[in-house]
Structure 1
């Protein structure tokens, strides 16, 4: 066991733990309670964190400045990734490729249960792996509505699958940026890595990613079945769970078709690939099987007649009336840009090839920023955003797009990335100050103080609660990546203090942060917006809350058993 921390300034550990909660509580009150936009709430949260660091923790101003600058640089890398991911989607929209992908899905099966599994679970997982940041809602939800789904059913399905693939979204950003940033400047983590058999910090990230994938594969096996059962219960003519459960064989088959390659990718290739390759492999396997009616239900389930739909089922945007593009792109050609993304990610991440070392070597490094222990390191060519932009240029050439079409796609993408940037410019620096708040008189950083306080309350049962903390972070911050930034160091500290392997506790954090996307206000708003359902976010969250509890509780209990046996 680790000895209790010294407070240095005369406050008890409990009082300091309550004070350390203030920035998080501020975020919760402003975003959830007062419904402020993140662009207004996060500057206030940043100022509250800086005030505590300077006035209570006694952190030197140079450390606060260094943490802020490091946070701004990390935020810029996130905005770059967001821009690249959205740019590829908008480029495919302009070229007609996205329309071709949608049209191909409509011909697989008339059964709505089969359709929602293929589009929401498998295609949504693939899009999450390729793009992340809520893009499955922007792609899968309108596609479902375009096939005749009620808008409310499409949004709920799109939110429910925002769980298993999320930890490895945008080529592993929640792990490679979120967890890495959360743990990267923590001296306790560095000491633990040196004492363990791990060769370096990167090996720790890969180990955590494998554990995250294992927990997700366990809970994710039932997600397709939950999706169709909720859909038939809420939107079927019979309002019956049984109509969904009758398709259990196909649902479990589709789940395993995704989670098995997903887990293999995590073990063999690393955190960039599980959702990307799991979704892609699952799509190929399940579409092939569905066309041959392998394990598909005998009956073909449909929604109640449209004339009987309640008003709150439908949105204001009729996606079925989407304009057919002037240029027709074949289904194979439409998928090629995503194959390019996957291929580039593979060849630039495999250790045996020279590209990884070369791209990581071209990096910006600032050691001991402002004379502090905080270091900055960015490798622009190695970021997934660069891969996405290469795929954008390839798509423009391969689909023979005009300069005007490409320009429209880039302008829309730039506007979307800028809208996300302002909140991130305060959110990530707040997280960095929070993490690097070790102050004068022996007082430890805010996450470690929180760890001591929580560990004293929960003790050895903490793994059961760890996933809910991650979910709370995603709910409040609107992102699994940011939740991991905020709480990874905290969770690592709890693991050490209660005598469990801290890498498992961080893995539980990451899994809970992914599950929290099911109830994340930011994602629900985005999903509702694309089909004209703004104002009904509360209704969606009420329908997705119990599946979130299932996911967080099952993985928390599984983690508890694992660390006890470890």
Structure 2
């Protein structure tokens, strides 16, 4: 048995924490300063974590490597299993051109560019975040806004700022699933707290979007649709994450937000031509005038309805119990680790939820989607293989980062850093979202930031007397606000709208919003750690 130590380096907590931080520092420097590709930075950081665990922390090399392999397996299943199948569904809609039908359907909901920004960037962007994530919502939303006639810079800024509230539950809940796994906290409890933080952002972001599109006039004239959209989105995200399924949180929120928005009479009124002339300074796509047949429009919406239906059926108690029986748990080979108190850690046993995991359920919905869209089986399989190929570097990045996280967690490195950080005391509640924000700003992924800092946050919370669920959730909720300034997302936005090399210009436009919303999230977490908003926690 390997027993984790809190002061393995020179019997000093400070020195031990500094050495333990070397893998994280390596990854962040390689990503932020050297601008190395994420998968290479992850692999180098993993190598550093293995050396620190083996040499400085005294973890036997066999157990060190075994813990890294466990992280790789978790990165593949269920994490990338979810992402691959979710993106596969999206690719099939593109292949059959039903995605274009969906885009035109959204474009016809209103001719007011301020409302279009809410529908496309906020609501549809959240739907794309739910299914694909990893930069796809920013790229696709920005392109759609340009097609509607938006100036490329304005389209990119709107898409980046809109991609905040849904990120924590993106890719069928991948970030919170990862957070629960690396922290050892129940998924339901983590998702529940995140679902009581990010919906508060959803109340603000639509108002910011109409301001970005049309300044004070936009706020004055379209505040009601923005508020209604934000409230519906927030309510659905809260309800789904707390009472239904974390995987459905963004899908439900996106659909509820869009439905509420179009139900507001002022959102459907023709826009003032002065507004359109002032805002729409780009070229409008001609294919927006194509008239789509109603059956094809229904088929375009069908994939999302199928996902909701499959996940809803999976939550029915008898069905849920049946699926849970397929879960396989076993002792992880070559791993026998105890925490500093001598108690075995959860990593010694590994669980494989073969059927009940989100990726398998999305796969089932994808098979139905192929039938509804009329896609031949051979073509559907080819699209799935192409999806895996497209995500090959993302798969390598996620698996290397999770292997790094598992090595740090099981060797005790994360626990040592957590004990050291706990010295911040009450200030920890304010700093917790900042850590997540920084992690996403550098890595471009809320999933990666949760893997890197989730266990650290929980350890620090327990040592300082704060709620582990609160700080773990704060890591993810604060992280979503770093998404808009991450080099990865800025590059994707620029490439999508033809502004290659203008990343610096976009950064200057979105950075104030990122920092402002981060301050709001920090204050929310501080208030939730006290009696002021403590009643919000489950």
Please identify, of 96-105 and 323-332, the stretch whose mean Cα deviation from structure 2 is larger: 323-332
Per the alignment, residue 415 of structure 2 pairs with 448
Does the 8 Å CA contact 2:83/2:172 hold for their aligned counterparts? no
Alignment of 1:259-408 (within 5 A): 259-289=234-264, 293=268, 301-302=275-276, 304=278, 330-350=296-316, 352=317, 354-373=318-337, 374-402=348-376, 405-406=379-380
Is the CA contact (8 Å cut-off) linking 1:450 and 1:490 kept in structure 2?
Answer: yes
Q: CA RMSD in A?
A: 2.8
Match of 1:182 in 2: 182
Deviation string, structure 1 residues 70-128 (Cα, Å, up to 9, x no partner): 11101212222221111111100111210110111111211111000111111111222
Distance 1:470 1:412, change over 3 A: same
State the distance in 2 between where 1:81 and 1:142 align: 25
Task: Show structure 2 runs of 5+ residues with no match.
Answer: 338-347
State the match for 1:187 in structure 2: none
Distance 1:448 1:160, change over 3 A: same
Q: Is 2:50–2:65's contact at 8 Å kept on the other side of the alignment? A: no
* Per-residue deviation, 1:491: 0.8
Give secondary structure in 2 for the equivalent of 1:108: coil
1:209 lines up with 2:191 in the alignment: yes
The 1:337–1:291 alpha-carbon spacing in structure 2 relative to 1, beyond 3 Å, is farther
Unaligned 5+ runs, structure 1: 185-200, 233-239, 438-444
Deviation string, structure 1 residues 264-284 (Cα, Å, up to 9, x no partner)? 222221322221111111112
Q: 1:68 aligned to 2:68?
A: yes
Distance in 1 of aligned mates of 2:217 and 2:19:
49
Which residue is equivalent to 1:161?
Answer: 162
Contact 1:68 1:432 in 2 (8 A): yes
Structure 2 partner of 1:481: 447
Whether the 8 Å contact between 1:260 and 1:278 is mirrored in structure 2 is yes
Asked if the contact 1:83/1:413 (under 8 Å) is kept, the reply is yes
Rate the CA distance shift 1:133–1:290 in 2: closer, same or farther, 3 A: farther
Q: State which drifts further: 64-73 or 375-384.
A: 375-384
Residue 134 of structure 1: aligned partner: 135
- What TM-score, normalized by structure 1, do the two folds share? 0.84
Paired residues, what number?
A: 517
Q: Which moved more, 1:407-416 or 1:24-33?
A: 407-416
- For residue 9 of structure 1, report the CA deviation from its aligned partner: 3.9
Is 2:208 the counterpart of 1:226? Answer: yes
SS for the counterpart of 1:526 is: helix
1:60 deviation in Å? 1.8
By relative contact order (CA 8 Å, sep 6+), the higher-ranking structure is: 1
Partner Cα distance (1:329, 1:414) in 2:
31
Deviation readout 1:398-446 (Å, 9 max, x if unpaired)? 1223456535533431221223122223211011111111xxxxxxx22
| Alignment partners' CA distance in 2, 1:149 and 1:170 | 27
* Residue of structure 1 equivalent to 2:495: 529
Q: Residue 144 of structure 1 aligns with which residue?
A: 145
TM-score, normalised via structure 2 length: 0.89
Q: Who is 1:113 aligned against?
A: 114
Q: Which secondary structure state, in structure 1, belongs to the residue aligned with residue 329 of structure 2? A: strand
Q: Which residue of 2 aligns with 1:192?
A: none
Deviation at 1:338, TM superposition (A): 0.8
| CA deviation after TM superposition for structure 1 residue 45, in Å | 0.8
Stretch moving more, 326-335 or 362-371? 326-335
